Structure 1
Amino acid sequence: MGSVIQAARAIESTAESLQENLARLEIQKQALERELAAVTAHLGSVQRALDVLQALMPGTGPAAAPSPRDTALVSVASPTKPEAARAAAIAEAAAESSATAGRSNEAGDGSTTYGKLTEQILAYFAQAGDTEVRARDVASALGRDTDSGSINAVRSTLDRLVGASRLQRAGRGLYRAVMP
């Protein structure tokens, strides 16, 4: 009789231990599923951003289509709203830049026209004169201060114009027109 009681206690103890393990494993499974969804969303947004950047690079054309594995991973979890908004802003800026940047003008005189954003920025600085202006103020004046992606596009364009000696950097985050 004593061995039956001991066996029953051993079975009960083992069942309790397994119940605790099951609960711990369920929590761990849920945490891993959330982490996988976050990683998958980040992977998708990074892949889209990379595709946009590759499309902007001269001579590379559009990036290769994502592999079936990448497509399956992206479909597991959709990006969060801020990531989706950022990806949309990047894609919009890329489409605008690739549609207009670096084309020869219609007159065929060998000069090139600039992207719409570049032209808007240069026109803004032509009116601003020798005034020092912050990138955020330029973005605001051009109606491109709706999200960080648009403001960053203005900042990038300002930096390219400084590199091309079309604008001057007047200080940290400050720009001014080049005076002849």
Structure 2
Amino acid sequence: MFQHTLKENMVPASRSTRDIEVTAESLQADLSRLELQRRALERELAAVVAHLDTVQRALRALEVVMASPAAAPASEAAPETAGGAARRRVTGPAQPATRPRAGTERTYGRLTEQILEYFAQVGDADVRARDVAVALGRATDSGSINAVRSTLDRLVGTSRVRRSGRGLYRAG
């Protein structure tokens, strides 16, 4: 009877050890997966922050252009429709905002021009943002693909590229 009791006690201990090992393996797999997901989200966040910075610089540059003397006739009608924006335009310094704009255009314009050159090469074919990113030699992580997708969407907005379906783009 003593041996029988000893066996009963050993089985649960073996199961407990195995359960702990399985749980540890599962947690290790979760940790690896979550670490990859964290890195991907960090890259995507970096792309969003870069895009936000580009948009803010472009907006400041447009405010400077709108406040310049050459834009005076257009800005006379603007206070009625956007009074707060008109006051903000006048207070912004003209020279510092024009310098970042030139650097921004080079970085922003380079990807745009690369995409337009790519569409000139592929002709009248439907392509995905991922295909464009790969063709341009960019990384295929979600952040890089989203940067290409954002640029494609801006080109769609200016009618330089057409959206031919869900996630598909075609030369305009």
TM-score (norm: length of structure 2)? 0.50
1:23 CA displacement:
1.4
Q: Give 1:17 shift.
A: 0.7
Contact 2:133 2:145 in 1 (8 A): yes
Q: Is contact 1:136–1:145 with CA below 8 Å preserved after alignment? A: no
- Percent identity of paired positions between Structure 1 and Structure 2: 51
Question: Who is 2:73 aligned against?
Answer: none
* Residue of 32, 35, 45 corresponding to 1:41: 32
Partner of 1:58: helix, strand, or coil? Answer: helix
Partner of 2:136: 142
Q: Report the 3-state secondary structure (helix = DSSP H, G, I; strand = E; otherwise coil) of the residue aligned with 1:50.
A: helix
Residue 175 of structure 1: aligned partner: 169
Any gaps of 5 or more consecutive residues in structure 2?
53-97
State how far apart, in whole Å, the 1-side matches of 2:146 and 2:156 are.
15
Residues in 2 aligned to 1:134 and 1:55: alpha-carbon distance in whole angstroms = 22
Q: Which has the higher helix share?
A: 2
Structure 1 spans left out of the alignment, 5+ residues: 1-9, 62-106
Provide the secondary structure at the position in 1 that maps to 2:164: strand
Change (3 A) 1:147 1:108: closer
Q: Which moved more, 1:24-33 or 1:165-174?
A: 165-174
Contact 1:135 1:151 in 2 (8 A): yes
How has the CA–CA distance of structure 1 residues 28 and 141 changed in structure 2, closer, same or farther, with 3 Å as cutoff? same
Pairing 1:21-170 to 2, within 5 Å after superposition: 21-58=12-49, 108=99, 110=101, 113-114=107-108, 116-135=110-129, 137-139=131-133, 141-143=135-137, 154-155=148-149, 157-159=151-153, 161-162=155-156, 165-170=159-164
Moved more, 32-41 or 134-143: 134-143
Change (3 A) 1:152 1:56: closer
- Cα distance in 1 for residues equivalent to 2:40 and 2:9: 46
Cα contact 1:133–1:174 (8 A) shared by 2: yes
Change (3 A) 1:43 1:173: closer
- 1:52 maps to amino acid: R
Using the size of structure 1 for normalisation, the TM-score is 0.48
Q: Which has the higher contact order (CA 8 A, sep 6+)?
A: 2
CA distance in 2, matches of 1:26, 1:38: 18
RMSD: 3.9
